Amino acid sequence: MDELLLKKRIIELRKRVEFSYGMEFTDFLTLSEIETAKSVLSGSNHMFYGGYDDTERQMLCIASDDITITPEIFPISGIKILPKNLKFSETFSHRDILGSVLGLGLERDVIGDIFVKEKEAFLLCVDRIAMFLTEQLDQVRHTNVLCRIEQTEDDSFKKEYQVFSRTVSAIRIDAVAAAAFGVSRSTAASAVSGGKIFLNGREITAPSTSVKEQDVISFRGQGKARLKEIGNLTKKGRIVVTIERYQ
């Protein structure tokens, strides 16, 4: 969604909550849209959640101050996708699953994160389309599939990531990306300038861009990592950082 339109939408939801003393939800937002939403949420009772604790795409709930927002109230369903005949099934990819789902005429914002494990998949979606998916999604590529509604947290599909510490000279995108992906700082800087590195889903072109804790860095062709923690200075004046790199 356009940044200005999204801000107007969030402000509208805040006004509705003030009138109704209830709660309002968006559909799933991207990392970039989440950052935009945060810019107009100051002072409001809100929470982002995507079905797991560590999802990339998340819904926003805005509620009146007397309501305690918890993950359980989010209208999110989990859909398990399995081949009808395992012997003759193909190996799925994220693109295969998403393409088949969108081929049913659905918009991307009603679908959350998608997890794929060889010949099985698990996706998160808004409650209102869960039954539709179980009835209509019957093929992925050339494989006939079955879909069933599952609990939103299926441990077997949770993201796996490697956690490690590195030292950097500055908390800026070229230095942190170099540490996260094991490349030289000059290589990372060139990738930033070339539009190959994204910060919280947004393309950036300035290698000096600052990074903060919990920011997600995507490097096209290399993967994705999160700056988990900024630590202390070493004796040589470098900064210790803890990084989560997704497998």
Could you confirm whether domain 3-73 is CATH 3.30.1370.160? yes
Q: Which CATH number fits domain 161-246: 3.10.290.10, 3.40.50.300, 3.40.50.150, 3.40.50.720?
A: 3.10.290.10
pLDDT higher than 80, residue 194 = yes
Alpha helices per DSSP H over 22-117: 31-38, 94-102
Backbone angles phi, psi at 110, to 5 degrees: -95, 0
As a whole-number percent, the residues of the chain with pLDDT over 70 amount to 96
In this prediction, residue 47 has a pLDDT band, given cuts at 50, 70 and 90, of: very high
Go through the chain and tell me how many residues it has: 247
Task: List Cβ<8 Å contacts ≥24 apart for 87-90.
Answer: 88/143, 89/119, 89/143, 90/119, 90/140, 90/141, 90/142, 90/143
Dmax (CA) for the chain in angstroms is 61
For residue 198, give both structure tokens: 């994204």
Give me the residue label for tokens 């918009």.
107
Question: Whose CA is closest to 154, among 11, 7, 55, 234?
Answer: 55
User: What is the distance between the alpha carbons of residues 91 and 120, in angstroms, rounded to a whole number?
Assistant: 8
User: What is the distance between the alpha carbons of residues 137 and 149, in angstroms, rounded to a whole number?
Assistant: 12
pLDDT tens per residue, range 142-151: 999 999 998 7
The CATH T-level fold of domain 76-157 is Alpha-Beta Plaits (3.30.70)
User: What is the distance between the alpha carbons of residues 98 and 121, in angstroms, rounded to a whole number?
Assistant: 11
In this prediction, residue 104 has a pLDDT band, given cuts at 50, 70 and 90, of: very high
pLDDT higher than 90, residue 105 = yes
Question: Whose CA is closest to 168, among 183, 153, 146, 190?
Answer: 183
The confidence score (pLDDT) of residue 155 equals 63
Q: Which residue ranges make up each domain of the chain?
A: 3-73, 76-157, 161-246
Mean pLDDT of 132-140: 96
User: Could you tell me whether strands 239-246 and 45-49 are parallel, antiparallel, or unpaired per DSSP bridges?
Assistant: unpaired
DSSP 157: G
- The 3-state DSSP class for residue 149 equals strand
Q: pTM of the full predicted structure? A: 0.79
For residue 219, give both structure tokens: 């490097």
Backbone angles phi, psi at 78, to 5 degrees: -105, 140
